[in-house]
C-alpha cells in the first residue's frame, strides 16, 4: 500500500496539476482555485485512499472531476440563460 505524503503534494504535483487544468480550461484563476480545491479534497479523503494508484494519479482524478463540475456548471448556466432569453422572446410576442 502506498503511503500518502500530503506535505509534499504542492512541491511534487502543483505544477503538473495546474498544467493539466490549464490545458482543459485555459483560465489561470479558475485552474489555480481547482488545484487548491483538489489538495483540500484529497486531504479530507486521504483515509479513503486505497493505494490502487499513485498519489499523482489519484490527485489527477480528483482534479478531473472538479473540471467536469466546471463544465457542468457552465452548461447549466448557458441553458438557464437560453431559457430566460427564450421566455422573454415569447413574453414580448404575447404583448403584441
- Write the pLDDT tens digit of every residue in 40-78: 999 999 999 999 999 999 999 999 999 999 999 888 776
Calpha distance 12→3 (Å, rounded): 15
> What is the arithmetic mean of pLDDT over 30-49?
96
Whole-prediction pTM: 0.78
Higher pLDDT, 54 or 3: 54
Cell of 39: 489538495
Given a cut of 50, whether residue 93 has pLDDT beyond it is no
Q: 31, 22 in Cβ contact below 8 A?
A: yes
Residue 25 CB coordination number (10 Å): 16
Mean pLDDT of the chain: 86
Amino acid at each position: 500500500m502506498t503511503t500518502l505524503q500530503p506535505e509534499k503534494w504542492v512541491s511534487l504535483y502543483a505544477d503538473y496539476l495546474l498544467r493539466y487544468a490549464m490545458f482543459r480550461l485555459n483560465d489561470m484563476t479558475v485552474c489555480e482555485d481547482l488545484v487548491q480545491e483538489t489538495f483540500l479534497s484529497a486531504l479530507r479523503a486521504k483515509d479513503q485512499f486505497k493505494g490502487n494508484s499513485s498519489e499523482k494519479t489519484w490527485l489527477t482524478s480528483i482534479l478531473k472531476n472538479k473540471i467536469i463540475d466546471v463544465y457542468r456548471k457552465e452548461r447549466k448556466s448557458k441553458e438557464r440563460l437560453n431559457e430566460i432569453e427564450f421566455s422573454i422572446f415569447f413574453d414580448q410576442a404575447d404583448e403584441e
